[in-house]
Amino acid sequence: MPSVQAGEFESWDALAQQARGLLSGEPHRIANAANLAALIFNGVPDLNWAGFYFVEGDELIVGPFQGQPACVRIAPGNGVCGTAMVSGETQRVEDVNAFAGHIACDPNSRSEVVVPLIESGRVVGVLDIDSPIPGRFSDADARGFEQLAAIYLASLAR
């Protein structure tokens, strides 16, 4: 079991390498989501929420996460998560208060990235990351979270 240290953010490549180590050899969907949420929350500075929603039926249901308790169900097209679910595209929101329909699960959230999880062309869930700092996430950060989402999806295929 690799040790996961809360600490300095080195680089997206370093975090991706840690994620590969953490998930390697383990294909369990929930277990890997839980560990990846913990790795992100402790490894990326200035977050207040990091975790997963999974598609069940026609809605998103909250999965493993770190942070304050969250909304359980999100309908397609609702909020940032529901928008990522419907569009199949990463959402990077500089100011959640300016995003029409943003769902304020944690009122401290000010900016957000949501990456859709796509398996065989279908959105099966989303990876959702929130920060209390407006404009916290750069485009490179969004790409970094996409890389972690890809590592998560690849781990399930083993």
Q: Contact residues for ligand SME (CB under 6 A)? A: 49, 70-71, 74, 79-81, 102-103, 105, 109, 112, 128, 130
Nearest to ligand SME of 49, 152 (CB atom): 49
For ligand SME, the closer of residues 43 and 112 by Cβ is 112
Shortest separation between residue 110's beta carbon and ligand SME, angstroms: 11
CA 113, distance to chain mean position in Å, is 7
Half-sphere exposure of 68 (CA within 13 A, CB side): 12
Cβ of residue 17: shortest distance to ligand SME, in angstroms? 27
d(CA 126, CA 53): 5
| Of 20 and 146, CB closest to ligand SME | 146
Residue 98, CA atoms < 13 Å, CB-side half-sphere: 7
Residue pair 36/23 in contact by the 8 Å Cβ criterion: yes
CB of residue 16 to ligand SME, shortest distance in Å: 23
Smallest distance, ligand SME to C-beta of residue 39, A: 17
Host H or E run for residue 107: none
Q: Which residue is nearest to ligand SME (CB)?
A: 79
Q: What 3 state SS string does 113-145 have?
A: EEEEEEECCEEEEEEEEEECCCCCCCHHHHHHH
Which C-beta is closer to ligand SME: that of 81 or that of 117?
Answer: 81
